[in-house]
Structure 1
Amino acid sequence: MRREAQNILLVLLGGAVLKLALSGAYLRYVTPSLQPWLVVSGAAVVLLAGVAIVRDVRAGHAVHQHEHGTRSPWLLLLPVFAIFLVAPPALGSDSVTRDRAAAAPAAPEGAKFPPLPPGEAPLLSMSEFATRVVWDDSGALNDRAVRLQGFVVHPAPRTTQLARMRISCCAADATAVKVDLTGPGAAALPVDTWIEVTARLRPGTATQANDYTPTVDPLTITPIPPPPDTYEH
């Protein structure tokens, strides 16, 4: 690969990383805590390319290399084109239906759960709700309306779920947090439609036999726009 092409490739790679980090699109793939590292790494690659370009210009000539065995470096352009032209979306219903089995939510660090937030129907994350369902034996969720936000999944005929993907580091370690929705309210909604559900838990529905997926009875279902960060952490 010629030096000019190498430098252009570095600029494109670094620019692609910066585009992801500064536009917020990086949230489709990694946690928010990694944004500073993406900015630093992207800027460093662009800076290295700029230094190399200036050095070659000052030298007055480019160093030419043989073209043998130079196909593989060009493969680095594929992720660049993917980012600029067809950036993959965040994980959604396809990931939920492909990976149906799930382990029980991990036990909380504390011995007891804090009280539920005040209000007639407090907003809980899907992860907190699922953890409370499995581990909170105080009955705090019984007969208590809560609000949950996620996207619609139809894993089987006449079955509708509310789901959210949870990641620890990046999309590669994502796991689905889901609840079964009763009634016809969400059944007609297309998959991946984002909704806020005000619902009540059916106690005793989350068991090992159904992958610890609780069932809720929706009181209201409201379509909402996807949040900037579609994952829970």
Structure 2
Amino acid sequence: MRRESQNILLVLLGGALLKISLTGDYLRYVKPSLQPWLIVAGLVMIGLAGFAIVRDIRAGQATDQHEHGSRSPWMLLLPVFAIFLIAPPALGSDSVTRDRAAGAPAAPSQARFPPLPPGEAPMLRMSEFLTRVVWDDTGELNHRTVRLQGFVVHPTPETTQLARMRISCCAADATAVKIDLASPRAEGLPADTWIEITGRLRPGTATEANDYVPTVDPITIQQIPTPPDTYEY
């Protein structure tokens, strides 16, 4: 690949990183705490390309390296064009249905769960709700109405679920957090529709036999816009 082509490739790769970092699209791929590192990486790539371009201009020529070599480095442009033109969406219902087995959530680090937030129907993250269902032996959830947000999944024609993807670092390690919705009103909602529900847990429904997926009886179901950050951490 010619040196001019290498410099252009660096500029495009750095520009793609800066674009997704500054527009918020990076949240489709990694957790929020990685944004500064993506910005730094993009600036470094563009800076290296700029330095190389200035050096070649001052030298009066662009050194030709492997002019007849492999075209494989140009394959790096494919994800760049994908980001600029057709950025892939965040993981959704397809990822949930492909990975059916959820398994029990990890035990919490604290010995006791803090009390649920006050209010008639406190908002809980899906991950927190499922962890409490499996590990909280006080039964506090059995007597409380809670609010949950997620997207609709239809793993089978007879089943409707509310789901959220949880990531530790990036979308590559994402796992599904999901609950069964026992409501005919949810059955007609298209997959990937984002909703907020208020509902109550059916005690004893999260078992090893069903991969620890609890059942919730919704009281209200409201469609909401897709949040800027669709993942939980």
Superposition TM-score, scaled by structure 2 size: 0.98
Aligned-pair identity (%): 78
User: Which runs of structure 2 are paired with 1:10-49 in the superposition (5 Å)?
Assistant: 10-49=10-49
Instruction: Tell me the residue number matched to 2:191.
Output: 191
1:65-90 deviation per Cα after TM superposition (whole angstroms, max 9, x unaligned): 34222311111111111111111110
Structure 1's consecutive aligned runs of 4 or more residues displaced over 3 angstroms after TM superposition are none
Instruction: Tell me the residue number matched to 1:130.
Output: 130
Distance 1:41 1:81 in 2: 18
Distance 2:100 2:168 in 1: 19
1:175-220 deviation per Cα after TM superposition (whole angstroms, max 9, x unaligned): 0000000121111010000000001000000000000000000000
Q: Which runs of 5+ in 2 are unaligned?
A: none
Q: Which runs of 5+ in 1 are unaligned?
A: none
Instruction: Look up the equivalent residue of 2:38 and give its one-letter code.
Output: L
Give SS of 2:119's match. coil
1:131-183 deviation per Cα after TM superposition (whole angstroms, max 9, x unaligned): 00001111101131000000000000121000000000000110000000012
Distance 1:66 1:169 in 2: 37
Distance 2:40 2:11 in 1: 14
Instruction: Tell me the residue number matched to 1:85.
Output: 85
Give SS of 1:42's match. helix
Distance 1:153 1:114 in 2: 30
Instruction: Tell me the residue number matched to 2:121.
Output: 121
Instruction: Look up the equivalent residue of 2:184 and give its one-letter code.
Output: P
Distance 2:110 2:62 in 1: 63
Instruction: Look up the equivalent residue of 2:226 and give its one-letter code.
Output: P
RMSD (Å), alpha carbons:
0.8
Instruction: Tell me the residue number matched to 1:142.
Output: 142
Instruction: Tell me the residue number matched to 2:108.
Output: 108
Superposition TM-score, scaled by structure 1 size: 0.98
Residue correspondences, number: 233
Instruction: Look up the equivalent residue of 1:29 and give its one-letter code.
Output: Y
Distance 2:116 2:152 in 1: 25
Instruction: Look up the equivalent residue of 2:97 and give its one-letter code.
Output: T
Instruction: Look up the equivalent residue of 2:65 and give its one-letter code.
Output: Q
Distance 1:91 1:66 in 2: 39
How far apart are residue 60 of structure 1 and its match?
Answer: 1.6
Distance 2:59 2:204 in 1: 75
Give SS of 1:141's match. helix
Give SS of 2:164's match. strand
How far apart are residue 103 of structure 1 and its match?
Answer: 1.5
Distance 2:143 2:219 in 1: 12
Give SS of 1:75's match. helix
Instruction: Look up the equivalent residue of 2:11 and give its one-letter code.
Output: V
Distance 2:185 2:66 in 1: 65
1:74-126 deviation per Cα after TM superposition (whole angstroms, max 9, x unaligned): 11111111111111110000000000011101111111100000100000000
Instruction: Look up the equivalent residue of 2:103 and give its one-letter code.
Output: A
Instruction: Tell me the residue number matched to 2:157.
Output: 157
